[in-house]
Chains A and B, each alone.
Chain A
Amino acid sequence: MKFIITLSWKNLTRYTRRTIITALSISIGIMMFILVDSLLTGAEKDSERNLIAYETASAQIVTRKYWDDRENLSLKDSIQKPDEVISFLEKRGIPATPRISFPGEIIVYKNPYPEDGNLQVKIDAIDPERDPKVFKLKDRITEGRWLKPEEHGLLMGKWMAEDIGAKVGYPITIFTKTRDGAYQTLDLTITGLINSENPIVNRYGLYIPIDIADEMLYMNGSASAIFLLFKSTKNFDSRLLTLSKEISSKFPDLTVVSWKELAEDYVALAETKRGGSSIILLFLFVIAAVGISNTMLMAIYERTREIGMMRAMGMKERSIGLLFIFESAIIGAVGSLVGIILSIPFVYLLVNHGINYGWLTRDFDIGYRITSIFYGAWNPTTFFKAFFMGTIIAVIVALFPVRRAFKKSIVDCLCFR
């Protein structure tokens, strides 16, 4: 075995340039794999963080009816006594805040706005005091100020404000329906603009004080949902399950919904993108595999007589096969290792500086909850995976030409020119 490995290693020096080019093609494939994986992992981590921080919290508590008909944001199916639930959660050290979510139409008029217009929107009525315990919206007010209780104010996502020409202090009218289905108009003033890391908030976010919504929509103290935050992500699923059981036993008509269910559009999108990215990665590996397969085919073709000589001398076909497989494995392993080493500085740049996709995310919803800079993430598992994949693919693609070489008789191999 030692002799076969030594001979394999020496054989790689026969055509140094070809060996280097093949190993480099694998290196580039591996490097791309690591970089794409780093970027995807980073984007997913950041998206999840921004989803929880600005959109979904860790979980929501809603009535079962509301959840079944969640698309309609029905005010009739709201939680009647949200304070009881919040107090139950706070006793367990879980920060929670109520929200009323309702559909409406914002109406703006020329002067001070650039032109007359209306827009179908979703409005979230938030508790100005409790909300910052769960969400980070308050920290992302870039113009104006945070809402005060009982004021007819409104916070707007910065991108929406830019799109409709809104500024702090501008009046805005919301046309909606009360809990009973009567038409209602809310006249509000923009108190602040939010520029967060979550593009959904920047593009669609509209927030008013919950007591104003309660009064104007005749909610009688009820809330659409209670948002809660697990400060640590450790054992998230099991903690959520425990909480879910406790809530179900104490409040039978309520249910706990995790952020993953709330952001099912994002989760589905992330999975689809991962699938699409896997195809790109597969493509990269096919290129590397073709490179190494070609090299091994050439090597075996050029050494047909040598293979014939070895077989004539009684060398086992398995050993001859191993000789070529080791050569391929060495190319694969060296190529993968070089690819990993080359990728490290690029991953470092991705992790620390990221890539600014602000030009894209500002105008297009690409699904990820990231507004501008996509940061990479260190993923040591990928490094190991890449190394083993690179080496194993190299071995697999070498098997075919090796098998082909043994189909020739020894005499044909020896006569090969």
Chain B
Amino acid sequence: MIELKNVKKRYHTGQTVVDALRGITLKIDKGEFLSIAGPSGSGKTTVLNIIGTLDTHDEGDVFLDGEDVSRMDKKTRARYRRKNIGFIFQTFNLIPVLSAYENVAFALHLLKFPEEEILDRTMSILAEVGLEGFENRRPDQLSGGQQQRVAIARALVKNPLLVIADEPTANLDSETGEVIMQLMKSLNDKYNITFIFSTHDNMVMENAERIVRIHDGKIESDTGRIR
């Protein structure tokens, strides 16, 4: 489903050139629950950004569901993300003036779903992530864990092919982080949606079925079950 072939990425900061990825080759199947692990600056976020079409690669090939990402223009990439990719961010990135319901419904409004379907899907996914009764609360009226649940619901409500989570538990305490990981895993099992998340937390890594360790822009190890 996702295939990276010898992907390289360089960043230019002033006159300094940083090789963020030095030839990543990786294949991820549908429904995997995969962790990209590595220390800070190893390149794990860059891999996620390239898979999520938020960033472009300099060399190599990236295929998403058979489509060559390098052939996609800016608009096509945006359209692809809108329909097929859900994002969960470390800092939740919810819209503060919208309620939990409206934040989740936002993803469906972008896809121009009819109002009734937006209502059904949003209420159902909020219940699934354990936020029944919290629909009308704004982010500042929710705990960190609850906010991340809203973000998970927002990522999943459109039934995407892939969910990308960049350090989803980094802003949560370990207990809440564990609950969030279990929630993500249960949703992965239930809907067979591919989850790719980055982390440098061993506890979070333990939840993954497959762990790809990156160091200095290269894959150091790839362990775990491949479906």
Contact = CB atoms under 8 A, between A and B. Distances in A.
B36 to A, nearest CB: 16
A315 B110 contact: yes
A410 B74 CA distance: 11
Nearest to A413: B54
Contacts of A13: 97
Contacts of A158: none
A321 to B, nearest CB: 13
Given A309-B89, A312-B87, A313-B107, A14 B96 contact: yes
A148 interface: no
B71 interface: no
A410 to B, nearest CB: 5
B99 to A, nearest CB: 10
Interface residues of A, number: 21
B192 interface: no
A410 B55 CA distance: 8
A314 interface: yes
Contacts of B75: 316
A314 B93 CA distance: 14
B137 to A, nearest CB: 14
B91 interface: yes
A287 interface: no
Interface string A302-317: 0001101101111111
Interface in B67-118: 75, 78-83, 85, 87, 89, 91, 93, 95-98, 106-107, 109-110
Contacts of B52: 312
Interface stretch (A3-11, A133-141, A372-380): A3-11
B49 interface: yes
A308 B49 CA distance: 12
Interface in A1-36: 3, 7, 10-11, 13-14
Contacts of B107: 313
A279 interface: no
A414 B83 contact: no
A3 to B, nearest CB: 4
B95 to A, nearest CB: 6
A305 B98 contact: no
Contacts of B82: 313-315
B136 to A, nearest CB: 13
Given A311-B78, A312-B54, A7 B97 contact: yes
B13 to A, nearest CB: 12
Nearest to A410: B54
Contacts of B91: 305
B79 A7 contact: no
Contacts of B87: 309, 312-313
Interface string A386-417: 00000000000000000000000111001000
A312 B164 CA distance: 11
B95 A314 contact: no
B110 A313 contact: yes
Given A314-B83, A411-B49, A414-B89, A14 B97 contact: yes
Contacts of B96: 14
A309 B93 contact: yes
B97 A10 contact: yes
A220 B93 CA distance: 96
B93 A305 contact: yes
Nearest to A308: B93
Given A312-B81, A314-B78, A11 B97 contact: yes
Given A3-B109, A7-B98, A414-B54, 10 more contacts: A13-B97, A14-B96, A305-B91, A306-B95, A309-B93, A311-B78, A314-B81, A315-B82, A315-B110, A410-B54
24 contacts: A7-B95, A10-B97, A13-B97, A305-B93, A306-B93, A308-B93, A309-B93, A311-B78, A312-B52, A312-B87, A313-B82, A313-B87, A313-B110, A314-B78, A314-B81, A314-B110, A315-B110, A317-B78, A410-B54, A410-B55, A411-B49, A411-B54, A414-B89, A414-B93
- For the complex of A and B, the 7 pairs showing the least CB-CB separation, nearest first, are A314-B82, A10-B97, A314-B81, A309-B93, A3-B109, A410-B54, A314-B78
